[in-house]
Amino acid sequence: MLRAAFARLGRDAIVSREPTDGQYGRLLRESANRGRR
């Protein structure tokens, strides 16, 4: 499930290019925390 989330975030970031590195890292951290929990 994490791989799917990462792939989605990557695609969204590439398509929209809106999220900055900081926001992207934050999203990854949140998704990782959700997966661990």
Residue 21 φ then ψ, to 5°: -60, -40
Distance of CA 7 to the CA centre of its chain: 8
Share of the chain above pLDDT 70, in %: 51
Q: What is the pTM of this model?
A: 0.33
The answer to whether 5 and 24 are in contact (CB under 8 A) is: no
Residue type, 6: F
DSSP letters spanning 1-37: -HHHHHHHHHHHHHHH--S-HHHHHHHHHHHHHHHH-
Model pLDDT, residue 28? 77
Model pLDDT, residue 3? 77
Give the pLDDT confidence of 2-37 residue by residue, as tens digits.
777 767 766 665 555 555 666 777 877 887 778 766
Structure-token pair, residue 7 = 């792939």
Model pLDDT, residue 14? 57
Model pLDDT, residue 1? 62
